[in-house]
Structure 1
Amino acid sequence: MLPSPLEFLVPLGALESVAGVLPYVILVVVLANIGTRLLAQWNFERAAEEGDGDEALSRYLPHEATNFLMMALAFAFMIVEPHGGMVLSVLVVGTVVADFFEYESRRVEARNDMALDKPKGAIVASGLVVVYAGYQAFFFLIEPLWGQIV
């Protein structure tokens, strides 16, 4: 039997061996992403007060790293669990897109000497990711009740 072309890009055997802990790792990274979003907002506020308009603002590297890691893990989860991974990937991509536009909004606010607003869209999107990642990680707790309903 010929190997799947995907096996050359992603080591499927290694991915399947960590499939059991992958939802927990995703949940931890999503929670870390929320923490880095808070730190990024504080960094933006401090830079806007000290600096000269939007030139003082720059992307917060730890937050961008957790965004990348969150996307990579969600796509890896899609290989292991296609349905749950697809839902999680859509939510994660939505969160990353919201983060991108929230950063640009902070730059516009800093450029116009406005008070920096909170990243409301990204907070809501990451809240949805936390709920779904928690659902995937702790499904075994609600599985008996879910089995009776469905």
Structure 2
Amino acid sequence: MLPSPLEFLVPLGALESVAGVLPFAILAVVLVNMVTRLLAQRSFVKAAEEADDDEALSRFLPHELVNVLLILLAFAFMIVEPHGGMVMSVLILGMVVADFFEYEARRVEARNGMEMERPNSSLAASVLVIGYAGYQSLFFLVAPVWNAII
């Protein structure tokens, strides 16, 4: 059997050996993402108080790294579980896009001397990602009841 062209870029055998752990890893990293988002918001507020404009604000590197890690994990999950991975990838990409626009909104607020708001849209997107990651990783807890009903 000829190897798939994708096997040269992604070690499929190694990826399938950790396929069962990927949903748990995504759930854990999404929870870390929530913490880094709160720390980023705290640093934005502090920077805005110290400066008169938005030049003091910069992207929070730990949060950006966690976002990249989440995207990579979601794409890896999509390889081993196409349907669930696609849904997870769309939710995570939506959350990252919301993070991008929330950062830009904080810059506008800092530039105009407005009060810094919470990143509501990215928090809502995070709740959706946590819910779906919890469904994917913790479904075994409700599987007996679910299978008895369905």
Normalising by structure 1, what TM-score? Answer: 0.98
Aligned length: 150
Tell me the CA shift for residue 69 of structure 1: 0.3
Partner of 2:50: 50
Could you say what secondary structure the match of 1:117 adopts? coil
Q: In structure 2, what is the Cα distance between the partners aligned to 1:131 and 1:105?
A: 26
Partner of 1:102: 102
Unaligned runs of 5+ in 2: none
Q: In structure 1, what is the Cα distance between the partners aligned to 2:66 and 2:104?
A: 18
Unaligned runs of 5+ in 1: none
User: Where in structure 2 are the equivalents of 1:46-125 lying within 5 Å?
Assistant: 46-125=46-125
**1:34-85 C-alpha deviation (Å, 9 max, x unpaired):** 0000000000000000023111100000000000000100110001111111
Structure 1 runs (4+) deviating above 3 angstroms are none
Q: In structure 2, what is the Cα distance between the partners aligned to 1:34 and 1:8?
A: 34
One-letter amino acid of the structure 2 residue matched with residue 6 of structure 1: L
Tell me the CA shift for residue 146 of structure 1: 1.9
Query: RMSD in angstroms over aligned alpha carbons?
Result: 0.8
Could you say what secondary structure the match of 1:138 adopts? helix
**1:92-147 C-alpha deviation (Å, 9 max, x unpaired):** 00000000000000000000000011000000000000011011111101111222
Identity %: 70
Partner of 1:38: 38
Could you say what secondary structure the match of 1:92 adopts? helix
Normalising by structure 2, what TM-score? Answer: 0.98
